[in-house]
């Protein structure tokens, strides 16, 4: 059996540095989301990416679902209700993946359409505060430096 080596306790300065880095990361997340979500093209692109990630997750789930159904190809009578629900789940996952694929394509098309490219009108700090309040209550935000002059990307 290997010996577990105890790490020396962290100093106050190390804990403060870790906390500052953690807060800096969270502030960057807030700023990125507020920026993306306040632009119609960027929010469409962001959610298309989310659809792609979910499609990948559902694809893995379908592989596992198929594998389980192969294991139970000839189930005993007592296990049939479980297998029936697994088949329903597989069908639902297939429908879900198809819907996500369709929505992803629509979002990607819209993200490239100049006719629907808009920016929300309030200062970015307003949207940053909304994101912060939902995701990281209590996080202190950085003041906005050099607000954008142009509303185009």
pLDDT range class, residue 145, cuts 50, 70, 90: low
Distance in angstroms (rounded) separating the CA atoms of residues 70 and 59:
17
Global confidence as pTM: 0.77
The b/e string for 25-49 (b: 16+ C-beta within 10 A; e otherwise) is eebeebbebbbbbbbbbbbbbbbbe
Here the tokens at position 141 are: 């935000």
Task: Please determine, for residue 95, whether its predicted confidence score (pLDDT) is greater than 60.
Answer: yes
Q: Please state, in angstroms and rounded to a whole number, the distance separating the CA atoms of residues 107 and 45.
A: 6
pLDDT per position as a tens digit, 37-72: 999 999 999 999 999 999 999 999 999 999 999 999
């Amino acid at each position: 059996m290997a010996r577990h080596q105890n790490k020396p306790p962290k100093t106050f300065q190390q804990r403060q540095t870790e906390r500052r880095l953690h807060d800096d990361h969270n502030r960057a997340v807030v700023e990125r989301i507020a920026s993306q979500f306040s632009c119609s093209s960027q929010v469409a692109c962001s959610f298309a990416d989310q659809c792609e990630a979910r499609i990948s997750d559902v694809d893995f789930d379908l592989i596992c679902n198929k594998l389980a159904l192969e294991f139970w190809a000839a189930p005993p009578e007592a296990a049939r209700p479980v297998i029936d629900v697994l088949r329903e789940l597989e069908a639902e996952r297939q429908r879900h993946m198809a819907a996500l694929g369709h929505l992803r394509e629509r979002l990607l098309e819209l993200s490239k359409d100049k006719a629907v490219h808009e920016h929300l009108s309030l200062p970015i700090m307003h949207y940053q505060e909304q994101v912060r309040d939902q995701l990281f209550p209590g996080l202190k935000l950085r003041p906005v430096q050099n607000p954008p002059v142009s509303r185009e990307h």
